[in-house]
Amino acid sequence: MIRRVVLLCTLLSFCVFDVLAQKEKDLVELNDDQVDFVEDSLVVDEYFEGNYLRYEDFIYDENIKTAMLYRNGWPLSSPILELSTGEELKLSFDDLSKEVRSYNYTIVHCSKNWEESDLMDMDYVDGFVENEITEYRYSLNTFQEYTHFNLVFPNEDMRIRISGNYLLVVYTDGNKENVVLTKRFMVVEPKVNVLPIVKRATLLDDRNYKQEIDFTIMHEGYTISDPYSEIYVVITQNNRWDNAIRGLQPLFVRSDELIYDYDRENVFTAGNEFRHFSTRSFRYRSERVAANIVDSTYNHVHLIPDQKRSFLKYSTQSDINGRFFIKNEEGNDAEVDADYAYVYFTLPYDAPMINGDIYLLGELNNWVMNKTSKMEYNYKKKTYEKKLMLKQGYYEYQYVYKEDGQAAGDETLIEGSHYDTENEYTIYVYDSSLRNNYDQLIAVKKFGTRY
């Protein structure tokens, strides 16, 4: 009886192996159109799997494109306001659907760790916490038709009362369950000063490829009873949140000074300058474009295949640290006359990664590593590939490897890392003392490695 069971298990294992082998063979033999279909299906699937509210920058509807949030008048700025100064943020996005849809928005106050706070709406908003987005225009002379929406806030209907982290939520048809996008923003009420020093890493093993962020918080005239429990610090690099450093404690405490001078806990891999491409015109091929192809319905932009840079020497290059901006060189108003194109990214690689995935990362996909940014491996061509629909403009990006089970991505595997790479850092300082019933944002310091 035992021998029969063993024989049966062996036969079953061979059957399973044959099925898996056939599946792999079928995947390898997919033609280009089928590969595109599989990739597009994966992207669509994401919008229907776990469509819960995320306290991060996220697009929930596949028809929503080019969602941008910045300080009004400064498209490359971070979405940070100073409280009670009259500063405004501008949200813009395109709706590619054929339907006529109305959009509403609300804001949610969050903790220092980006969880919803316990405050009531009236605690952080004067006016109406829910409002309609009324400014919209239709695209002009574009292959891809779309409706462009703009929102400037705070405004007459909604004013912000307190500092902290906030989530902007946009939803359709007055139903908060129909969320289409979320965007993070911050409101700061300056109470302390931050004096940063960015330098080559102190530890010998890190000196060639990491950067160290030392800083001092000056709080003259601002009472901090217990800096170890009341003050919470977050450091980000190039607006990425996956590799942010959180919760550093002051190493030294002096009169009116909190000193953060570590050797290991406050270092980032320096990475490399961002890759870039331009689609500001479809009439000619820009530096990184191999071909511009126009068919009966869409523009297609094929980029020159990228190469692994981990063993190349560092080369100085000006960049905008992974951001993008919208521009149509043949148009007058890029908000509505810039067209869309399918942009094709390729990264030759001899074999696919086994214990993780390669992601395309930058502001072009909200710095999020998920199915919409994951590169798909083409076994036939031995390349990682990705197709994104992007509006005309200038874009920067990088390739990041994320090991299974890890939250932070590692850009050094593909891009390399050099201590003299130009990066942008931001230090956020929160006051979580008991005198407040929320996490007050009391300082934001943004600076670059050339600081």
Residue 26: what pLDDT? 38
Residue 161 in tokens = 């009362």
Average pLDDT value over all residues in the chain: 89
pLDDT for the residue numbered 31: 39
Where helices occur in 273-372 by DSSP H, the ranges are: 334-337
Q: What sign does the CA torsion over 248, 253, 258, 259 have?
A: negative
**C-alpha distances in Å from residue 337, one per residue of 2, 281, 366:** 74, 12, 23
Q: Is the CB of residue 282 less than 8 Å from the CB of residue 143?
A: no
pLDDT at 436: 85
- Quote the tokens at residue 60: 């929930």
Tell me what pLDDT residue 44 has.
41
Alpha helix (H) residue ranges in 47-128: 121-124
**Count of H-run helices and E-run strands, the chain:** 6, 30
**Which two three-digit tokens encode residue 144?**
């891809």
How many CA within 13 A on the CB side of residue 227?
22
In the predicted model, is pLDDT for residue 149 greater than 50?
A: yes
Going by C-alpha positions, the residue among 88, 95, 103, 42 that lies closest to residue 67 is 95
CA distances from 416 to 90, 184, 382 (A): 35, 29, 21
Q: How many whole angstroms separate alpha carbon 131 and alpha carbon 124?
A: 15
The pTM of the full predicted model, rounded to 2 decimals, is 0.87
Q: Two tokens at 316? A: 């100085």
d(CA 145, CA 5): 63
Which DSSP state fits 365?
G
- State which amino acid sits at residue 239: N
3-state secondary structure 113-144: CCCECCCCHHHHEEECCEEEECEEEECCCCCC
Choose the weakest-confidence range: 36-40, 46-50, 86-90, 312-316. 36-40
Name the nearest CA neighbour of 245 among 214, 224, 271, 266.
Answer: 266
Task: Give 374's strand partners.
Answer: 359
Residue 29 carries which DSSP code? T
Question: Would the pLDDT of 435 be above 90?
Answer: no
pLDDT computed for residue 451 by the predictor: 57
Considering only CA atoms, which of 274, 355, 354, 287 is closest in space to residue 317?
Answer: 274
- Report the first-to-last Cα separation within the chain, whole angstroms: 77
**The pLDDT of residue 216:** 98
Q: Phi/psi class of residue 388: alpha, beta or left (left: φ > 0; alpha: ψ in -120 to 50)?
A: beta
pLDDT digits (tens, 9 = 90+) for 150-193: 999 999 999 999 999 999 999 998 899 999 999 999 999 999 99
Residues paired with 198 in a beta bridge: 213
Q: What is the average pLDDT across 241-262? A: 95
Which residues, at least 6 apart from 104, have a Cβ–Cβ distance to it below 8 Å? 130, 131, 132, 133, 170, 171, 172, 174
The three-class DSSP label of residue 289 is strand
Assess contact for 268 and 237: CB atoms under 8 A.
Answer: yes
- Per the DSSP assignment, residues forming a β-bridge with 428 are 234, 444
Proportion of the chain above pLDDT 90, given as a percent: 82
Other CB atoms within a 10 A radius of the CB of residue 116 amount to 12
CA 378 – CA 352 distance, rounded (Å): 9
- Asked if the model's pLDDT at residue 364 lies above 80, the reply is yes
Are 70 and 89 in contact, with CB atoms under 8 Å apart? yes
pLDDT score of 21 more than 60? no
Q: Structure tokens of 235?
A: 């450091």
Which is higher by pLDDT, 22 or 199? Answer: 199
Q: Please spell the DSSP secondary structure of 236-275, one letter per residue.
A: EETTEEEEEEE-PPPSEEETTEEEE--SSTTEEE---PPE
Tokens of 92: 């813009």
What are the distances in angstroms from CA 167 to CA 53, 60, 107, 129, 369? 10, 15, 6, 12, 19
* pLDDT the model gives residue 279: 97
Which of the 8 DSSP states describes residue 172?
Answer: E
Tell me the pairing of strands 340-348 and 299-303: parallel
Task: Answer yes or no: is pLDDT of 76 > 60.
Answer: yes
Which residue ranges form the domains of the chain, and what is each CATH number? Answer: 58-188 (2.60.40.10), 193-270+423-448 (2.60.40.10), 275-415 (no CATH)
Confidence of residue 392 (pLDDT cuts 50, 70, 90): very high
Using pLDDT thresholds of 50, 70 and 90, give the confidence band for residue 316. Answer: confident
